[in-house]
Structure 1
Amino acid sequence: MTLPADFTLLQVVPELDTGGAEQTTLDVAQAVVRAGGKALVATRGGRMASRLLADGGRLAEMPVQSKNPLVMLGNAARLVDLIRSEKVSLVHARSRAPAFSALWAAQATKTPFVATYHGVYHARSGLKRWYNAVMTRGDLVIANSNFTRDHVLGEHAVPPERMVSIPRGVDLARFNPSAVGCDRVEALRRAWDLPEDTSLTTFILAARLTRIKGHGPVIEAAAGLKAEGRTDFRLVLVGDDQGRTDYRKSLEAQIAAAGLEGMVRLVGHCDDMPAAYLLGDAAILPSVVPESFGRTAVEPQVMGRPVLASELGGMIETVIPGETGWLIKPGDAEAWTAGLRRAIEAGPARLAAMGQAAALRARRLYSVDAMCAATLEAYERVLESRA
């Protein structure tokens, strides 16, 4: 796609640490640079900032993660200065708190404003609904799945023509089984102290350590399998606690109490998820609240691994039961015991066949190139309507 001459995009996101919204920010920034534009990101910073710079983007560090009204006003002033000095063409907000500052700055400078609804924000009061609605007050609202779009249309008075659904994309060059050497897989195996054992069905759960990701019910499900006398599986929980040390300790205690130390492993943050998925036979995503899209249900499928996911939110769109994985009742340990058992008993050949079906579908529907192209088309639509 050809962007307008001197196109400059400013994305505003709380942090560039980890997560789907953060990865999408980097993907779109890279696409803008490749198309000949400039890509700025206003953020507090984070471990992914170096990737933004390596891709040709630029960082504007400011405390946009803050919900303090005075700090938000200060951020708005900083963004006004940035928009004017860099001649920003369009502002794209990706989270609610920074969206207020970004919207105020865009309105002050008469700059087009777009927001992406990356999550399903529930409101139990009029005040919270007003707070959430900041994401709908611009020229266009982008939803990261049909599930999210339907939620926004039902929650806010947004004309359907001001909404577009653009599923998150997966980098098919990075998540490419043939591009991952055996040395990378073996390096992870050694780092995580996972003995090579083809008699075990290995499940990979990639998610930050927080209760909404459903680690507890899955550990309980593993205890249920052990109680049946099964020892032919292991669970690898990939993700850091991001300061939730009490939650991590509670999981460690749950694992120890069930005698699952050798069967359920907490391995921390991983920078090489393509290799991590190849260490497993299947991936699991047991979230107990709806994922608006659920990138970690798609990435393993691209790598040729079937997925067991909670029957919630965007996963209903990305996992086809019996074909590319299984959908399981969220938070139900017995249902997860049955689901894990079903996958184990399917055997390596069946899991591999499902993984290939998953890869074909996911690569067709959820590529990062398709997501970026659709996003740039949305930008063009907004600029044309303003013109």
Structure 2
Amino acid sequence: MRTAIVMPRNMHFCKSRATSIDLCAHDLALHSQNKSNLRVFAGGEAGLFDDVDVCAVTPPGKKPTPAKFYDPLSEFGPQLIVVHQHLETAFQIINDFPGTPVILHRHGRFERNSGFKRWKYTRKMNRLGGIIWVGEDARNNFCENFTGVKTRSVVVPNGIDCELWSPAPKANTVIYVGRARKDKGIFDLAAAWLACADRMKALGWTLEFVLAVTDDGEDATANALRQMLSNHQTSVSIETNLIAADVQRRLAKASIAVVPSIVAEGFGRTAIEAMSCGAAVITTHSGGLWEAVGETGKVINPSAPKEIATALFDLADNKPLRNAMAKSGRERVLRLFDIHQIAELYDDMLMSLWDEFVSGPHTTQRLIDHMLVSE
């Protein structure tokens, strides 16, 4: 089945600036049983992933608008189209390809909005071929707020290659990997480090930030973080836009990983990467992070630098506890989130949604909706 994977605006399907959404889409495509019939459509970037079939729909550096996907998709002739995250791109593609099922792959909660917008979005989302969520928290939140959506919603968590994300000999390193955004809790982690830096340094510990910087706002945030920690350059390092292999090496040797998100995360890919690499994980209970970590991590409140500092010192000073958390964390990822089983589940879900779309009694109604609903 010819399947198109659409990566809309604000995504970076490339080796150095990939977000968790890009990495999720890449890994599912790379390990799909349908890989030979699959093509990814993304904005032009330097260093696009080259181990899957990728079509750049814009020149390098230009953000793709929904209209930019029409000609490349028409030429490919997909039987199924998966749009990651961006609703308006999905709705435009439904209009452009009314006979082709369009699946929306959501990576986080959907904003509730006003009553009118919920009605409008409900009408549109009922024309989707299905919605795939990365976590139960995001799916349940959506179902509670959009009770009129009858489109089938399913959950497929992120998966990772546990052979690539694997432990190495450990250093006394605390690490943060993620976007350079305030709502990811990076300033809370920095404040926690400032509060316990003397004790941590006395035990021989350092802190590493590995930041993804994808726009001017995130660049400004990274610079603000550097300024905040400028007096601790001997114990703190800040790196940006590393390729995946370098991120893996940093995580492999880290003993503690912190995922201090304030925002309600859809899942928690960064957490399972760290767990697979044998790091003891400190995280918040925001959104779906608990689905990733389960009972294997140290879970704290969001926006609580003092709790982060306490957790850091407790783990830094207790190697048996770190080792036990690292062991149980990796075992959890191997059992639940290995990419081979997740990709197989994803393929099965796509085929099931496609079958329902092409054979269901709602096909005629969908065509009527296409004619009646103004976009």
TM-score computed with the length of structure 1 as normaliser? 0.80
Deviations 1:43-62 (CA, angstroms, capped at 9, x unpaired): 2133562x2x323x131414
For the structure 1 residues 239 and 62, does the alpha-carbon distance in structure 2 shift closer, same or farther, using more than 3 Å as the test? same
SS in 1 for 2:324: helix
For the structure 1 residues 35 and 215, does the alpha-carbon distance in structure 2 shift closer, same or farther, using more than 3 Å as the test? same
Deviations 1:348-380 (CA, angstroms, capped at 9, x unpaired): x33122211111111110111222111111121
Q: Distance in 2 between matches of 1:328 and 1:9?
A: 41
Please tell me whether the aligned partners of residues 188 and 304 of structure 2 are also in contact (alpha carbons under 8 angstroms): yes
2:242 corresponds to which residue?
A: 270
2:282 corresponds to which residue?
A: 308
Q: Distance in 2 between matches of 1:329 and 1:251?
A: 21
1:375 corresponds to which residue?
A: 346
Question: Which residue identity is paired with 1:358?
Answer: G
2:51 corresponds to which residue?
A: 54
CA RMSD of aligned residues (A): 2.7
Q: Distance in 1 between matches of 2:119 and 2:183?
A: 24
Q: Distance in 2 between matches of 1:260 and 1:167?
A: 37
Question: Which residue identity is paired with 1:59?
Answer: C
Gaps of at least 5 residues in structure 1 are 1-6, 186-197
2:208 corresponds to which residue?
A: 236
Query: Offset at 1:248?
Result: 1.8
Please tell me whether the aligned partners of residues 275 and 333 of structure 2 are also in contact (alpha carbons under 8 angstroms): yes
Query: Offset at 1:292?
Result: 0.5
Alignment of 1:239-254 (within 5 A): 239-242=211-214, 243=216, 244-254=218-228
Q: Distance in 1 between matches of 2:331 and 2:202?
A: 32
Residue 362 of structure 1: which of 318, 333, 338 is its match? Answer: 333
Query: Offset at 1:213?
Result: 1.2
Q: For structure 1, which segment, 266-275 or 211-220, has the greater mean C-alpha deviation from structure 2 after superposition?
A: 266-275
Q: Distance in 1 between matches of 2:323 and 2:342?
A: 27
TM-score computed with the length of structure 2 as normaliser? 0.83
Q: 2:109 matched to 1:120?
A: yes
Question: Which residue identity is paired with 1:330?
Answer: P
Q: 2:112 matched to 1:138?
A: no
For the structure 1 residues 83 and 215, does the alpha-carbon distance in structure 2 shift closer, same or farther, using more than 3 Å as the test? closer
SS in 2 for 1:123: coil
Q: For structure 1, which segment, 143-152 or 16-25, has the greater mean C-alpha deviation from structure 2 after superposition?
A: 16-25
Q: Distance in 1 between matches of 2:24 and 2:79?
A: 19
Q: Distance in 2 between matches of 1:264 and 1:294?
A: 24
2:180 corresponds to which residue?
A: 209
Deviations 1:58-111 (CA, angstroms, capped at 9, x unpaired): 3141489869xxx54x33xx52x444432311010112242232222232xx00
Q: 2:23 matched to 1:23?
A: yes
Q: Distance in 2 between matches of 1:38 and 1:377?
A: 15
1:346 corresponds to which residue?
A: 318
Question: Which residue identity is paired with 2:2?
Answer: T
1:13 corresponds to which residue?
A: 7
Q: Distance in 2 between matches of 1:137 and 1:306?
A: 43
Question: Which residue identity is paired with 2:164?
Answer: R
Alignment of 1:215-230 (within 5 A): 215-226=186-197
Q: Distance in 1 between matches of 2:348 and 2:29?
A: 14
Please tell me whether the aligned partners of residues 125 and 149 of structure 2 are also in contact (alpha carbons under 8 angstroms): no
For the structure 1 residues 131 and 225, does the alpha-carbon distance in structure 2 shift closer, same or farther, using more than 3 Å as the test? farther
1:152 corresponds to which residue?
A: 142
For the structure 1 residues 206 and 302, does the alpha-carbon distance in structure 2 shift closer, same or farther, using more than 3 Å as the test? same
SS in 2 for 1:266: strand
Deviations 1:270-291 (CA, angstroms, capped at 9, x unpaired): 2222211122111110111111
Please tell me whether the aligned partners of residues 116 and 135 of structure 1 are also in contact (alpha carbons under 8 angstroms): no
Query: Offset at 1:125?
Result: 3.1
Please tell me whether the aligned partners of residues 40 and 60 of structure 1 are also in contact (alpha carbons under 8 angstroms): no
For the structure 1 residues 150 and 287, does the alpha-carbon distance in structure 2 shift closer, same or farther, using more than 3 Å as the test? same
Q: Distance in 1 between matches of 2:237 and 2:101?
A: 47
Q: Distance in 2 between matches of 1:372 and 1:90?
A: 17
Please tell me whether the aligned partners of residues 176 and 208 of structure 2 are also in contact (alpha carbons under 8 angstroms): yes
Query: Offset at 1:159?
Result: 5.5
1:103 corresponds to which residue?
A: 94
Q: Distance in 2 between matches of 1:377 and 1:354?
A: 33
SS in 2 for 1:292: coil
Q: Distance in 2 between matches of 1:317 and 1:263?
A: 32
For the structure 1 residues 65 and 364, does the alpha-carbon distance in structure 2 shift closer, same or farther, using more than 3 Å as the test? farther
Alignment of 1:55-74 (within 5 A): 55=52, 57-62=53-58, 71-72=65-66, 74=67
SS in 1 for 2:202: coil
Please tell me whether the aligned partners of residues 13 and 65 of structure 1 are also in contact (alpha carbons under 8 angstroms): no
2:41 corresponds to which residue?
A: 42
Deviations 1:273-314 (CA, angstroms, capped at 9, x unpaired): 221112211111011111111100001111111210112111
Q: Distance in 2 between matches of 1:241 and 1:82?
A: 28
